[in-house]
Structure 1
């Protein structure tokens, strides 16, 4: 029985491995860079302006409840690592209340 030897995909050995390492490094860099925006929004992310601290806390609590309900319906709930739907609703609610998000 004659077995055929597999031919390399490229002429130079190791070139495919270099591309794989470069791809892994690029993906890891993008993933780590995206982690900075994965935090859940809180009242600390907003400028209270002339609003009293009690009003800010009350509005933030109401927005958090609204965002949690929105995330349960439209997001992945507690399984959403980006908190995208939660943050979108929280931001919308706080901005509707007249608050501006602080610059990162």
Structure 2
């Protein structure tokens, strides 16, 4: 499996200005729409619709334990670990943790 790294922000301060902590922003990356957020000093991309019934997650709250909470059925998906209760009832939410390198925010996508 190959990995392709994409630059999201040249400077993490730009991302921090865009995101008030735990605010969700939609980004277009390689023709696909993702949601971007910050939790506990880490940055994350996640798919924009709930895997349960495809409900939009843009207005979802992020819990104090780092879970995206779907506003429709209250399903919870962790940004930081797998195996949530909701994942026992539907497929997991696709989440990618971004990395910071010299103030740049990058994300690696697996392909192949």
- Tell me if TM exceeds 0.5: no
> What is the TM-score when the length of structure 1 is the normalising length?
0.24
Larger strand fraction of residues: 2
Larger Rg: 1
Higher helix share: 1
